[in-house]
Structure 1
Amino acid sequence: MPTVALVLYLVFLALAFGLRTLTQYRRTGSSGFHGVGGRVGSVRWWGGALFVLAVLLGVAAPLLQVTGVVDAVGFLDATPVAVVGLVLALAGIGGTLAAQQGMGASWRIGVDQRETTDLVTSGTFTVVRNPIFTTMTTAGLGLALLAPNVVALVGVAGLVAAIEIQVRVVEEPYLLRTHGQRYRDYATRVGRFVPGLGRLST
């Protein structure tokens, strides 16, 4: 189902990045987009660069499979796998959009160290601290299973690496500096990406 994967991926990008950015700009006067930050070659820079690469590979994977440039990985090229992929993709896309909505005006792509936004701990943020990244990874995995080739799998691995770097190296230190003990208390109760896992020590 690589054609389905391509359509869903493009719709996902249009809603989660395009429409969301436009909505944010209309609401706050800022797009919320801070791009790839950090010195070129730094860990922070690699986090942003890997994220961009993962998005590009995510689009390229189904396109390359549809055009016959790459083939599906044999054992993943099965209807049950595609069904699981479709369920994960739809759940992940819906979850990402819901979590973005839950962030309200605090939604951002990247971090501006000079900026202070409200700490959001309600809604899906009571379950995990990074529900957007959790659901985005779910969507990415589902889309990869709909077009299960090597390019798609590399893209998912890049997405996971990028998110880990962004959260651990950029966002958590920023939130600790900005919100101090309030964020630490929250992070000791709520898991990073999965409920109960990745909580900060007191």
Structure 2
Amino acid sequence: MAVAALILTGVFALLDVARHVIQRRSTGDAGIRQFSVGPGSLQWWAHWGMEFGTLITGVAAPIADLTGLAPLEVLDHPVARGVGTALAVLGILATFAAQLAMGASWRIGVDETERTVLVTWGPFRLVRNPIFSAVFLAFLGLTLMVPNVVAVAGFAAILVGTQMQVRRVEEPYVRRTHGTAYTDYASRVGRFLPGIGRLRSDQRNER
């Protein structure tokens, strides 16, 4: 399973590159914003937490498996590995599809000076952050495929980094940019899962 996990991680990376190419060809801009963020900022920590988490789970964990690191017994089961493979494939494809659904508004990182269209269609009708939801699915699958302590640590870093990015960086930015259009949308649609993490009425009234 370690070799399969490395292959799927490679596919994930290639699709990410393809998305940047598509974005540049259609808009003239690759959509990359995270490298303009100052080192040590909240967004910087969130971004690199996610990046290192993906590398640890998708690359370091399979290599550790191949070099003899034992899996965690509680997760080490053929059925779990099979389910993990299915989740990883589904998550990778869903990530790419959700990225495409954002069209010209797709970005990696936040530029406070930009104002993009608020996307509420396609998978964004179900959850506010379908790209991150799909990434969670993909790397949960990779963790189950190679269930060692390295993979679990990497997946934990992805979860923490993503929560920081979404809750402390992206949501405040989108709320400032789109105002009531976003708060109305967020009151109806969950953050990562349908119906879960919707904006409460008292939060909607905050300015």
TM-score in terms of structure 1 length: 0.94
Show the counterpart of 1:195: 194
| 2:45 pairs with 1:46 | yes
CA distance in 1, matches of 2:52, 2:111: 21
CA distance in 2, matches of 1:62, 1:189: 40
Q: State the 1:134 CA deviation.
A: 0.3
Matched residues, number:
200
Give unmatched runs, 5+ long, in structure 1: none
- In 2 relative to 1, CA 53–88 (structure 1 residues): closer, same or farther, beyond 3 Å? same
Identity of aligned residues (%): 49
Show the counterpart of 2:129: 130
After superposition, give the CA deviation of every residue in 1:22-44 in whole Å (9 maximum; x if it has no partner).
Answer: 11111111110112565433332
After superposition, give the CA deviation of every residue in 1:159-181 in whole Å (9 maximum; x if it has no partner).
Answer: 01111000011100110111111
Residue type at the aligned position of 2:96: L
Instruction: Map 1:19-34 to 2 at 5 A.
Output: 19-34=18-33
Q: State the 1:87 CA deviation.
A: 1.4
Show the counterpart of 2:84: 85
- Name segments (4+ residues, structure 1) moved above 6 Å: none
TM-score in terms of structure 2 length: 0.92
Instruction: Map 1:65-144 to 2 at 5 A.
Output: 65-68=65-68, 70-144=69-143
CA distance in 2, matches of 1:5, 1:101: 24
CA distance in 2, matches of 1:71, 1:31: 40
Residue type at the aligned position of 1:61: A
Show the counterpart of 1:148: 147
Q: CA RMSD in A?
A: 1.3
Residue type at the aligned position of 1:107: W
Show the counterpart of 1:186: 185
Show the counterpart of 1:9: 9
